[in-house]
């Protein structure tokens, strides 16, 4: 990201959401982006996820300037290169865990047998192979978030963008989710960008970027991130 600016028009008034943000995030990093309401973190997340474009400046994803891409090309990047995890899970209630995880593959035209195999592999990575046939309404909040993580994983994306993934979870379940993300980062080499307002959650990552008023307030490396496995007592 080079001098990213985002300006929203509210009638005759310009609202500056981003004011010249420059950042580099490398492959296989685990980064948390923090900031109070109005800091610009949601706007930045939307640009990183190719859901919005900057008003000015450049965002290069794997060397490609997203401002030069059309809607179909951006949709292709979202479908193939980025996995999304949201605070609200966004699962379909009348579908099983397996069917929810299969959905991105269905949209990409993957055949049924291969879809099921890849969905089961993704569910296994988050410890839910035994719950594949359960509807999302039959799962706990933590299990639903694991299904959402599996859905993000099933495309084998190099980047996962997690927007407040622990916001609806209790402390223990939040730690279990962070253990999964740490494992995906360290063992699978997936780049993780985590949007959070919780400092305790950000300390599980390896780098914390703080925004304020649309600018980078601080950017610090965490020498010894909290190890989630030490709290859960589990190893995946």
List, for residues 142-193, the tens digit of each pLDDT value. 899 889 999 999 988 999 999 999 888 888 888 988 999 999 999 999 999 9
Whether pLDDT at 236 is above 60: no
Exposure on the CB side of residue 214, measured as CA atoms within 13 A: 13
The arrangement of strands across the sheet holding 56-58 comes to 13-21, 2-10, 56-58
Rounded to a whole number of angstroms, the CA Rg of the chain reads 18
What are the pLDDT digits (tens) for 30-76? 999 999 988 999 999 999 999 999 999 999 999 999 988 999 999 98
- The answer, as to whether pTM is greater than 0.85, is yes
Whether pLDDT at 18 is above 80: yes
Instruction: Show the domains of the chain with their CATH numbers.
Output: 2-81+157-232 (3.40.50.300), 92-156 (no CATH)
What are the pLDDT digits (tens) for 121-143? 999 989 899 999 999 889 998 89
Instruction: Quote the mean pLDDT of the chain.
Output: 91
What are the pLDDT digits (tens) for 197-226? 889 999 999 999 999 999 999 999 999 998
CB-based contacts of 98: which residues, under 8 Å, 6+ apart? 116, 119, 120, 123, 132, 133
Residue of higher predicted confidence among 185 and 110? 185
Cα-Cα-Cα-Cα torsion 135, 138, 140, 146, nearest 10 degrees, comes to: -20
Residue 77 phi/psi, 5° resolution?
Answer: -65, -45
Q: Which residues of 146-170 are buried (b: 16+ CB within 10 A; e: fewer)?
A: bbbbbbbbbbebbbbbbbbbbbbbe
pLDDT at 232: 59
pLDDT at 48: 95
Say what percent of the chain tops pLDDT 70.
Answer: 98
């Amino acid at each position: 990201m080079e001098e990213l600016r985002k300006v929203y028009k509210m009638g005759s008034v310009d609202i500056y959401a981003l004011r010249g943000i420059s950042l580099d995030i490398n492959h296989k990093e685990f980064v948390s982006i923090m900031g109070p309401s109005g800091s610009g973190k949601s706007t930045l997340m939307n640009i990183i996820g190719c859901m919005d474009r900057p008003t000015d400046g450049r965002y290069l994803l794997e060397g490609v300037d997203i401002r030069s891409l059309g809607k179909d090309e951006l949709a292709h990047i979202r479908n193939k290169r980025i996995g999304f995890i949201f605070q609200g899970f966004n699962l379909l209630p009348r579908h099983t865990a397996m069917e929810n995880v299969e959905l991105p593959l269905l949209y990409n035209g993957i055949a049924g047998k291969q879809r099921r195999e890849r969905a089961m592999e993704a569910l296994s990575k988050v410890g839910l192979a035994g719950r594949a046939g359960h509807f999302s309404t039959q799962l706990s909040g933590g299990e639903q978030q694991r299904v959402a993580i599996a859905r993000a994983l099933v495309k084998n994306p190099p980047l996962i963008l997690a927007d407040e993934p622990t916001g609806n979870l209790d402390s223990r379940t939040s730690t279990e989710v962070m253990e999964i993300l740490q494992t995906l980062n360290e063992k699978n080499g997936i780049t993780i960008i985590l949007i959070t307002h919780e400092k305790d959650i950000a300390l599980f990552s390896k780098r914390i970027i703080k925004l304020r008023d649309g600018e980078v307030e601080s950017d610090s490396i965490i020498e010894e991130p909290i190890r989630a496995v030490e709290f859960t007592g589990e190893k995946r």
